[in-house]
Amino acid sequence: MFDLKEYPLDYNKDVLEPYISSNTMNFHYDKHLGTYISNLNKLIKGTVFENYNLEKIIIQSSHSKDTLRIFNNSAQIYNHNFFFKCLKKDSNAEFPKKLLYTFKSKEKFLEEFKVVANSVFGSGWVWLVKEAGEYKIVKTSNADNPIAHNQTAILTLDLWEHAYYLDYQNRRADYIDNFVNNLINWEFVEGNL
């Protein structure tokens, strides 16, 4: 059985304001993440998945359409827990030196991240990942995530409407701008490299 308490927020829900409101955090953390957890518990009850940890559930359920609902809910638990750790208001940590070889500068990295984020159509995620020793920016649709593709997640932004609609309505590009300029937890990114 999974429990929301296993995925605590490292900060109070109002600390990301004005970029992300406590109202959004209340819905996003308690309701959305909470629902993925209760759904997954119902779906795996009495199945072999009950004995696996979250990452193994994601990988094993990604192989078949018959387990799509298990994949969607388990991946969304991973994605949200990871996303919430990526958020820190006005982090003054340095841009990680390890990323300079691939992206040349912080500005160029953020520009590419924004371009890929703005190209996501519908619900999805944009990620910085490590794959076979190389850093790259990728997007995924719906609940899909790097774990299902042999990649390591380093940074992500949630582009589902529920992540920004209460604060930004249709202005998704403003949400993306505020994320890259004011909300990236660079210490967390550095630790994932």
With CB under 5 A, what is the number of residues at the site for Mn ion? 3
Question: Is 88 buried (19+), middle (13-18) or exposed (0-12) by CB count in 10 A?
Answer: buried
Binding window for Mn ion (CB under 5 A); candidates: 11-19, 53-61, 90-98, 151-159: 151-159
d(CA 7, CA 70): 18
Which residue, 63 or 162, is less far from Mn ion as judged by CB? 162
d(CA 192, CA 168): 29
- Cβ–Cβ < 8 Å for 124, 139: yes
Least spacing, CB of residue 60 vs Mn ion, in Å? 23
123: nearest Cα among 147, 146, 139: 139
- The identity of residue 155, as a single letter, is L
- Using CB under 5 A as the criterion, what x/- string covers residues 22-61 for binding Mn ion? ----------------------------------------
| Residue listed under structure tokens 């199945």 | 47
Which residue, 30 or 50, is less far from Mn ion as judged by CB? 30
- Using CB under 5 A as the criterion, what x/- string covers residues 100-129 for binding Mn ion? ------------------------------
- Using CB under 5 A as the criterion, what x/- string covers residues 157-176 for binding Mn ion? -x-x--x-------------
Which residue, 99 or 147, is less far from Mn ion as judged by CB? 147
d(CA 174, CA 18): 12
Q: Which residues bind Mn ion (CB under 5 A)?
A: 158, 160, 163
